[in-house]
Chains A and B, each alone.
Chain A
Amino acid sequence: MVHDTQTSEKIMLSWSDTTELMNLSSVDETGLKERVASLATRSIKKDSKLQALNMIVSMCDLTTLEGQDTDGKIAQMAAKAISPDPNDSSVPSVAAVCVYPGLVKTAKEAVSKSNVLVASVSSYFPSGQAPLELKIHDTKYAINNGADEIDIVINRKAFLEGDYKKVFDEIYAIKEVCGDVHLKTILEVGELGSYDNVRRASLIAMSAGSDFIKTSTGKISEGASREACCVMAKAVLDYRKVTGSIVGIKVAGGIRDAKDAIRYLVLIKEEIGEDWLDLKYFRFGASSLLNDVLRQIKKLKTGAYQDSYYFPRG
């Protein structure tokens, strides 16, 4: 295959190369579920559990995406992001805070003295039902206000109508606006209807220049699943084989406890490898997850579960 476009060292594929990649393989749902269930029986204990929990904290995009978000709420969340457990300095900061474009400026100021990044959703999140020029405008606004990362949604209308080229073109156009700003593309797997479609959408999003592919908006009842994550992970591995580039994965929506999050790490480690066990390439969209992880860390260190009021509100 020919690599015809390059943006900041990133290799992107042409549309025809993308369609060729999409035709390579399909997904057998039964086999997929069986493999995912088998990985869920891994027993992660002691040191390996503590290491996993700290890794999960460092991979969190602490998120609030509500109509009721205010500057005050963002400030609280940012403080939590920088220092998730003020009583234990060995617990790392989270990777990023994730907010709506109108709150990027506030968030950016609130995390300015830390390594925590600011991610903004854009492109008319969560539905994506707007013309491309508005999505571009939305994205530019977030970037101009200082967003380090942009989380967009794919055009599901076009995707479900079979207009894959349009899905590709829109992502491509938004990535051009992003330049070096990391682009995370949300597939909204709960609306795609099949694992074949999850694979197809993953390949389209990667070929069009996404730095991350992300499972869900968290705004519909069906969020992330380990099955969808597994399909995306396999697509990411196939994509690296063709292009040499590593695309990251973000799982979001419905991951509420540490046990579930650890199972995602197991899946990533065994299905595509440890290269992805890094906040550069794997993220959790989190709101309630973080506190459960903090409680589990405390449990491992002290032997006792602590009530959630021992941990600061975020």
Chain B
Amino acid sequence: MVEKWSYSESIESSEIVNLEKKYGHFINGSFVSPKSKKYFDTISPSTEELLSKVSFGGKEDVDSAVASAKEGFKTWTKVKPVDRSKYLFKIARLIQERSREFAVLESMDGGKPIRESRDVDIPQVSANFFYFAGWADKLELSWSNSKFKPYGVAGQIIPWNFPLLMLAWKVAPALATGNVVVLKPAETTPLTALMFAQICAEAGLPDGVFNLVTGNGETGSYIVNHKDVDKIAFTGSTVVGKQIQASLAGTGKGLTLELGGKAANIVYEDASIDQAVEGVVNGIFFNQGHVCCAGSRLLIQESIQDQFIEKLERRMQQLRVGNPLDKNTDIGAINSKQQLEKITELVESGVNDGGSIYQTECDFPGNGFWFKPTLFTNVQPAYRIAREEIFGPVLTTITFRTPEEAIEIANNTEYGLSAGIWSEKGSKILWTADRLDAGVIWSNTFNKFDPSSPFGGYKESGFGREGGRHGLLSYLKEDK
């Protein structure tokens, strides 16, 4: 496609990032070599180049991290709440100061466009630390009839889609409420968490309060099953979430799960069409669709279907797919080869089931993992692409005739994480929101986050809330 006026490359320099050749675990306030003696590669999904090697967390590594945390808890308990606040403020400030470095590294390791890591991820990370810093010394007065205390050692396992932001969602409230942490970042995106560990050391956080073990699912299972871990917080797939819940049954450990989603984004015929198109695009193509609350099912009223789909396809064609470090890139690389294979397989099933596929025209860089922005129409609710979480830049369209039918389709899923409503009629928005089984409902917008707003799911999307006052309760238990 020849453009009359094309944008020249505008690459954010990666020179600001200084990576080590290999990284140890962060235990008891310093980086230590793995007892497992094993390292694994972390690569850039947009170039497939090796970025660094990180330690594999075996059972002994997890044991020493948990032991360090147990000691750390003794120290942390003696720190006054107002001083816990100060550490969190300090961390927030240090993240802000190094925000460009964090943003570039997040895009290198995870593949997401720099405009998102720069404008969304990293600002939200520091905002979460600032927000929860304010809570640390106000907990005692916040619930009138109950007294609460921290669990102790919180084991936290986070996903690869928003690596540092999911760390912030978990670490900030845990530390604010007086818990200590053993964190495991995702296998494919450990680097910003390792940089965060450096920040903790720089902030003077007492040894053992924040511990980090890198590794894979096996490492995660050592954390989940460790007898001295008092609370597990997991964000990831529903399959793994179920396994975790099964292994914790009867142990008395605390658990919060934030799992998959298949959100309905309902567009009524009286919506502002152009802005609804924009919101639907943002809902599914933000972060390559690697978003648990993505608006992956477009529910469109039949009366405006043709007009809407035409505008949507036109808009999709404007999405710029390519180098995550180019400031004009809208869609970066798919996070891993494995995820690319999963997306490809599900899209093939959609075509085989009888869905009509539209993909934008775009050129991919030579190496790396890429997928074209994809739209399915003529999809029936029974198709796999209408039921399973694709976790990629793939939007599935289902039509409806009446608001009642829209509700029925929207709730016809095992998930219940988020939903969107597009209408200019206030009463219809309220009527719809009342009937949707979803933890977060946006109207005339999508994918809006704020540290003060609780986030979490119903049904197989999990339980427990992160963010806001509700989010504190995920890290507190009643003090009887």
Residues of A within 8 A of B (CB): 24-28, 30-32, 34-35, 41-49, 51-52, 55, 234, 241, 265, 269-270, 273-274, 277
A31-B445, A277-B5 are known contacts; what are 11 more A-B pairs with Cβ within 8 Å? Answer: A25-B273, A27-B274, A28-B271, A28-B276, A30-B445, A31-B278, A34-B445, A48-B7, A48-B8, A55-B5, A234-B274
Q: Are A42 and B328 in contact (CB under 8 A)?
A: yes
Judge whether B5 and A25 touch: CB under 8 Å.
no
Residues in B neighbouring A51, C-beta threshold 8 A? 5
Q: In the complex, what residue of chain A is closest to B446 when comparing beta carbons?
A: A31
CA of A277 to CA of B3, assembled, Å: 11
For chain B, which range describes its interface: under 10, 10 to 19, 20 to 34, or 35 or more residues? 20 to 34
- B480: chain A residues within 8 A (beta carbon): none
Which A residues touch B30, using CB under 8 A?
none
Q: List 9 A-B contacts (CB under 8 A).
A: A25-B271, A28-B444, A30-B275, A31-B279, A42-B327, A47-B8, A48-B8, A274-B3, A274-B4
Interface of A is mostly: helix
Q: A52 is contacted by which of B5, B274, B445 (Cβ under 8 Å)?
A: B5
Which chain B positions have C-beta within 8 A of A234? 274
In the bound complex, do residue A49 and residue B275 qualify as a contact, i.e. CB atoms below 8 Å apart? no
User: Is B318 within 8 A of A26, CB to CB?
Assistant: no
Q: How far is the CB of A43 from chain B (nearest CB, A)?
A: 4
Chain A proximity of B360: nearest CB distance (Å)? 13
Q: Once the chains bind, are A28 and B424 in contact (CB under 8 Å)? A: yes
C-alpha gap A20/B265 in the complex (Å): 27
Q: What are the 6 A-B residue pairs with the smallest beta carbon separation, nearest first?
A: A31-B275, A28-B272, A43-B10, A43-B327, A28-B275, A48-B8
Say whether B115 faces chain A, with CB atoms less than 8 Å apart.
yes
Nearest CB of B to A289, in Å: 18
| Among B10, B115, B271, B279: residue with most chain A CB under 10 A | B10
CA distance A229 to B318 in the complex (A): 18
Q: How far is the CA of A277 from the CA of B7 in the complex (A)?
A: 14
Q: Enumerate chain A residues within 8 angstroms of B274, measured Cβ to Cβ.
A: 25, 27, 31-32, 234
* Contacts known (A41-B119, A43-B327); A27 close to B4, Cβ less than 8 A: no
Any chain A CB within 8 A of the CB of B6?
Answer: yes
Secondary structure of the B side of the interface? loop
Inter-subunit contact B278/A35 (CB<8 Å): yes
Contacts of A45 in B (CB 8 A): 8-10
Tell me if B272 and A48 are in contact (CB < 8 A): no
**Is A270 a contact of B272 with CB atoms below 8 Å?**
no
The docked-state distance in angstroms from the alpha carbon of A234 to that of B274 is: 8
Residues of B within 8 A of A47 (CB): 8
A269 to B310 CA separation, bound complex (whole angstroms) = 17
Residues of chain A within 8 A of B444, CB atoms compared: 28, 30-31
Q: Is the CB of B5 within 8 A of A35?
A: no
Which residues of B129-176 are within 8 A (CB) of A? none
> Would you list which residues of chain B between 264 and 291 have a CB under 8 Å from chain A?
271-276, 278-279
- Contact yes or no, A27 B8, CB < 8 A: no
Shortest distance from the beta carbon of B161 to any chain A beta carbon, whole Å? 20
Residues of B within 8 A of A44 (CB): 7-8, 10
How far is A55 from B3 in the complex, measured between Cα atoms in Å?
14
A75 to nearest B CB, angstroms?
34
Q: A48-B6, A55-B5 are in contact. Are A43 and B328 (CB under 8 A)?
A: yes
CA distance A30 to B443 in the complex (A): 11
Residues of B contacting A30 in the complex (Cβ-Cβ under 8 angstroms): 275, 444-445
CB distance from A7 to the nearest CB of B (A): 28
Measured CA separation A48–B310 after assembly (Å)? 29
B4/A277 in contact, CB under 8 A: yes
By the criterion CB–CB under 8 Å, are B272 and A25 in contact?
A: yes
B4 / chain A contacts, CB cutoff of 8 Å: 274, 277
Chain A residue nearest to B12 in the complex (CB): A43
